[in-house]
Amino acid sequence: MPRRRVAITGLGVIAAIGRNVEEFEESLRAGRSGIAPIELVDRSQLRFSNGAEVKGFNPLDYFSPKQAAMLDRFAQFALVAAREAMADAGLDPRGIGERGAVVTGSCVGGQTTSDAGFVELYQKGRPRVAPLTIPMTMANAGASFISMEYGIRGPVFTLSTACSSANHAIGLAYWLVRDGVVDWAIAGGSEAVFSLGFLKAWEAMRVVSPDTCRPFSKDRQGMILGEGGAMLVLEVLEAAQARGARIHAEIVGFGMSSDAHHLTQPSVDGPALAMRWALEDAGIHPEQIGYINAHGTGTISNDPIEVAAIRKVFGRHTDRLAISSTKSMHGHALGAAGAIEAIATVLALRDGFLPPTANFTEPDPECDVDVVPNQARQQQVEYALSNSFAFGGLNAVVVFKAPPR
Amino acid sequence: MLDELEQRVIKCIAQTQHLPVEKITLESTFEELGIDSLDGINIVFALENEFDIEIPDEAAQQIRSVREMIDGVRKLVEQKRAGTVGA
């Protein structure tokens, strides 16, 4: 089957800076950060105190009490985002379920549920753990619930590649639609990181910032953990146009690579290779890219290495690129990061603006690129990259194109 | 009139299933109440906590009605009492 063009016709997001696409875009344009003192966990037991939580999230606004009790917070975020994306796409799933796919990413799945179960067992000395702990903890719970809600009966699966999970998911879903395995897909990721056990584990890694997330700033002190979910509805472009759907953007390329180097230390070559494969997959030249939504975690080591990798691929064109990290606003949502950043990138291409790197204070000579500091910029670009690089050295890069006009 | 144990079992079912207590009678079958196998293990979990008993897997899988559940719980509670007195 010849390759088909793939349109994004539905967007859904829930994150610290917005409980839907409209709120999320407003925050991006305003450069508003959602980083604040952690409320979901007793922060007095932690060395860091800030996170990017979805404040005031009440599952009963979205689910019946019985359904809410069956869904870990991460799966709730997956469904909330999928519902918004499907409503936005206006796609009637009846009769096309066999030709649809769901591909989601999550790093730690329903860990908040297993954490709560272990508190009962180890701390409170209870003899048993709630019976739904197993199906609520599994990382594919979100994908399974989306499949059940819309009757999607084709390929449904979840990828777990730490911080690259959602980009791997979106990229593979793109290939499934492009190459004719399916005709449409819901793709993205979701994550719920806020349990004491998991935050203590991050604390021990010594990469979490004591104040905020300042990607590419000289005084950056680390990442800030975030949570949320984001989903895209992908369709064959021609079919979407034929039914008169709004096309938000296209996905035109996907590249992945492995550093084969170190469990946690980033490398220049691995990310550079993933960017190169993505451009090759898209069949475009580096000079055609105008914006990169960076992995940009704000850790001491990630940011300069990412800039070096970009320089390696883009050469002198690097100085003409806008490169921002929206993690400065929505935090690092691990397995959902690529999906939340995909929404930011698509909105940028659709609405002609570049989201900023918030909390930026001081340029770092090792990150000497245009990071769109603090203020969003009115600028229309044609092609954009979204980077995700994971612990374990796994890299995934997606290429987006502005909608046909 | 329902005795205390019957009331407690019905309350467990109601809370776990998010159903009003009035909907559940001694004669209700799980099918009528829309209780599937996954709901069943949730109810068994709630009953184990409520009565501090251990419900064996075979029993948990076979029960299909409120009355069977109450009979099973009553038997386990009585066994437990007898065991405690004996010890």
Domain range summary for chain B, segments of one domain joined by + = 4-86
- Euclidean distance between the first and the last CA atom of chain A, given in angstroms as a whole number: 27
* Residue A77 and residue A122 in one domain: yes
Q: Looking at residues A175-204, what average pLDDT do you find?
A: 98
pLDDT of residue B58: 86
* Residue A229 and residue A287 in one domain: no
**Length reported for chain B:** 87
Please indicate, yes or no, if residue A405 is contained in any of the structural domains: no
- The C-alpha of A335 sits at a distance from chain B's nearest C-alpha, in angstroms, of 28
The two tokens of residue B28 are 């209700």
Last residue of a domain, one of A186, A213, A242: A242
- The pLDDT mean for chain A works out to 97
| Inter-residue contact A399 to A380 (CB < 8 Å) | no
- Euclidean distance between the first and the last CA atom of chain B, given in angstroms as a whole number: 34
What does the alpha-carbon distance between residue A266 and residue A15 come to, in Å, rounded to a whole number? 26
What does the alpha-carbon distance between residue B67 and residue A162 come to, in Å, rounded to a whole number? 49
Has residue A382 got a pLDDT over 90? yes
* Residue A135 and residue A207 in one domain: yes
Say if B38 is an interface residue toward chain A (CB within 8 Å).
yes
The one catalytic residue among B3, B36, B39, B57 = B36
pLDDT of residue A285: 98
The two tokens of residue B63 are 């029960």
Say if B50 is an interface residue toward chain A (CB within 8 Å).
no
Topology annotation, domain B4-86:
1.10.1200
Between chain A and chain B, the number of residue pairs with CB atoms below 8 A apart is 19
State pLDDT tens for residues A250-285: 999 999 999 999 999 999 999 999 999 999 999 999
Last residue of a domain, one of A207, A242, A277: A242
Say if B41 is an interface residue toward chain A (CB within 8 Å).
yes
The packing angle between helices B66-86 and B37-51, to 10°, is 30
The phi and psi torsions of A208 (rounded to 5 degrees) equal -95, 135
Which residues in chain B have Cβ-Cβ distances shorter than 8 Å to A69?
A: 18
pLDDT of residue A171: 98
Which residues in chain A have Cβ-Cβ distances shorter than 8 Å to B17?
A: 66
| Inter-residue contact A34 to A359 (CB < 8 Å) | no
Q: Which amino acid is present at A252?
A: V
Q: Tell me the sheet residues that pair with A232.
A: A11, A187
* Residue A215 and residue A288 in one domain: no
* Residue A236 and residue A256 in one domain: no
* Residue A152 and residue A16 in one domain: yes
* Residue A274 and residue A366 in one domain: yes
Place of tokens 């954490």: A115
* Residue A217 and residue A322 in one domain: no
Rg (CA), chain B: 13
What does the alpha-carbon distance between residue A257 and residue A142 come to, in Å, rounded to a whole number? 26
Say if B17 is an interface residue toward chain A (CB within 8 Å).
yes
Task: Give a three-class secondary structure readout of B24-59.
Answer: CCCCCEHHHHCCCHHHHHHHHHHHHHHHCCCCCHHH
Strands (E), A108-243: 156-159, 184-191, 228-236
**In percent, how much of chain A has pLDDT > 90?**
99
Q: Looking at residues A310-326, what average pLDDT do you find?
A: 98
What does the alpha-carbon distance between residue A159 and residue A161 come to, in Å, rounded to a whole number? 6
What residues of A are labeled active site? 163, 295, 332
Q: Is residue B39 annotated as a catalytic residue, yes or no?
A: no
Domain count across chain A: 2
Name the residue in chain A with its Cα closest to that of B17.
A66
User: Residue A392 is part of a domain; what is its CATH number?
Assistant: 3.40.47.10
Please indicate, yes or no, if residue A277 is contained in any of the structural domains: yes
Chain B, window 54-83: residues with a beta carbon less than 8 angstroms from a chain A beta carbon:
none
Which residues in chain B have Cβ-Cβ distances shorter than 8 Å to A71?
A: none
* Collapsed DSSP state (helix, strand, coil) of residue A354: strand
* Residue A219 and residue A326 in one domain: no
| A128 with B45: Cβ contact below 8 A | yes
ipTM value greater than 0.85: no
The two tokens of residue B62 are 């076979």
For chain A, helix (H) and strand (E) counts, in that order, are: 13, 14
| A128 with B49: Cβ contact below 8 A | yes
State pLDDT tens for residues B29-84: 999 999 998 999 999 999 999 999 999 988 888 889 999 999 999 999 999 999 87
- DSSP per residue, A243-303: TT----EEEEEEEEEE--S-SS---SHHHHHHHHHHHHHHT--GGGEEEEE------TTHH
What does the alpha-carbon distance between residue B39 and residue B62 come to, in Å, rounded to a whole number? 13
Higher pLDDT among residues B46 and B1, named by residue: B46
State pLDDT tens for residues A62-106: 999 999 999 999 999 999 999 999 999 999 999 999 999 999 999
What does the alpha-carbon distance between residue A269 and residue A322 come to, in Å, rounded to a whole number? 21
**In percent, how much of chain A has pLDDT > 70?**
100
pLDDT of residue A314: 98
- Name the pTM for this structure: 0.95
- The C-alpha of A122 sits at a distance from chain B's nearest C-alpha, in angstroms, of 16
* Residue A334 and residue A368 in one domain: yes
| B45 with A131: Cβ contact below 8 A | yes
Q: Rounded to the nearest 5 degrees, what angle is found at the Cα of A96, between the Cα atoms of A94 and A98?
A: 120
pLDDT of residue B85: 58
The phi and psi torsions of A17 (rounded to 5 degrees) equal -105, 15
* Residue A144 and residue A182 in one domain: yes
Confidence band, pLDDT 50/70/90 cuts, at residue B87? very low
**A122 secondary structure, DSSP code:** I
State pLDDT tens for residues A154-170: 999 999 999 999 999 99
* Residue A274 and residue A231 in one domain: no
Last residue of a domain, one of A205, A221, A242: A242
Range of the domain at A332: 252-400
